[in-house]
Chains A and B, each alone.
Chain A
Amino acid sequence: MFAKHRTTGYNGYALAVATASNFGLVGNGRLHILNVGAGPAGEVINTERVFDTQDGLFDVCWSEVNENQLVTASGDGSIKLWDTTLADFPIQNWHEHQREVFSVNWNLVRKDSFLSASWDNTIKLWSQNSPQSLQTFKGHSHCVYAAMWSPHSPSLFASCSGDHTVKLWDTNSPAPVQTILAHGNEVLTLDWNKYQDHTVVTGSVDHTIKVWDLRRPDRELNCLRGHEYAVRKVKCSPHSGSLVASTSYDMTMRMWDITTGDMIEIHDAHTEFVLGVDFNLYRDREIATCAWDESVHVFTPRCLM
């Protein structure tokens, strides 16, 4: 079963999908709220709502406190909070970052705040009720591509950067509590294992994915090879501690068993860079991907059938 949806004219980045026209080069962005449901010939994807933005959108994250709300990261440095019950415009707009915002991530434990990571080398902490950011974290010497909350702690988060490092932070401290020289090239993405407290997975321009135990920062537990170009996104399954999905500029989405290090799936139906992937939280075998081919794919990978 394989549902496709075309986001015509927009190149998919993150089933809310953040998109940018003209490959994020110039032009507008659009947030697509899609509804995946059953149709007569299998699954169908319908557009529930779209929101247009002045600049391209690079990431999106659902609110943890309101099922109708979500936050987006924009190429012009702005961060917007949207309510799907209200048309056309966001309900909040913050503009503090000096450059592109590349990731947004809602706190999974306290649920009262979210993080943004920017090409201005900083990470900012936000509360949806506060007109200004609560805190700015400086320490990376290059673009920060992602800042992700630990699913196990209310104040711990990890970030990855073009400076080749992964940093671990606690919101109670302005400086990083740990720095790992993670890859030999830019680290574009990271995610936390949901079932092992100290495990994070990173993906890099060096084509590899690495699995880390943060208590042993000298060396990765495992290095997963297979992608032929930069790894753009890694996601740890919310349903299994051993399952990881990754996307790459090699136009594929791959899945891995991190306990064995085996690649267990290659999804090669996209015809352009695959930028986004996520697991369905509630249907435990369903995966969604989005790509620069202006398409969203929702499907059950063979390895989970």
Chain B
Amino acid sequence: METSTVQQQEQLFQKFESYSFDADANFQAGMKSIIGNAQNKSAQEQKDAVEKAKYFYYSRFVQSFDYNQYQAWRQLKAATSIDQDESQGSSAPSSTPAAPIVDETIAEESQSSSTAADPTYPKSFQEICELIASGKPIPGIRQIPNNLAEGTPSEAKLAPKLKPWEKKKAGSAEESVVESITSSADATA
């Protein structure tokens, strides 16, 4: 994501939030099935389902946008209203690590521990989006060297198996042939 698009996106997101879904008959018709599907779900899940439906509808019929970026924007908006004073004034904190490499198991743990409250977005998601918005390196992204594997690639050991449709074709062509083909194919299984 490029930071130059952030402002355009902001306008788009604001338009989406002010769209009158209640007055849109097509949307309301679709909503019935969404609510029906979410009947046995928790209030939060129902809320999520409605919000997602709005996104889908708006994206398809009004103007498309990225739901994850919208979420990020919303979370960022909520966050910046709290620590705006901190981030303004001085330049970026010099203590920010250049490209922190977070151990993968730690990243997974922190994600799964947050799943109970908000299954869709991991705890670090907001932090990641703030970093994207400010153009800083994103922690948790491991730097994977662009290497090729050392060692000798394997040699194929299994004889090519006939696909199921090739077996059936061979079968319909000549029945005596298919027996030998399928038995040899099965033998390699």
A-side residues, CB < 8 A to B, are: 8-9, 22-23, 25-28, 52-54, 64-69, 83-93, 108, 111, 151, 194-195, 205, 228-229, 238-239, 249, 268, 271-272, 281-282, 284, 293
Contact = CB atoms under 8 A, between A and B. Distances in A.
Contacts of B153: 66, 69, 83, 85-86, 91
Nearest to B41: A271
Q: Quick one: which of A93, A108, A229 has the most chain B CB within 10 A?
A: A229
Interface string B90-131: 000000000000001001100110000001101001001000
A68 B165 CA distance: 23
13 contacts: A8-B111, A8-B112, A52-B144, A54-B143, A66-B155, A69-B154, A84-B154, A93-B148, A229-B56, A239-B164, A281-B163, A282-B189, A284-B164
| Candidate in B120, B153, B157 with the most chain A CB atoms within 10 angstroms | B153
A221 B120 CA distance: 39
B160 A26 contact: no
- Contact-size category for B: 35 or more
B147 A89 contact: yes
Interface stretch (B10-18, B76-84, B134-142, B174-182): B134-142
Contacts of A54: 143-144, 146
Contacts of A27: 128, 138, 140-141
Nearest to B141: A27
B68 A86 contact: no
A64 B33 CA distance: 43
B174 to A, nearest CB: 18
A195 B149 contact: no
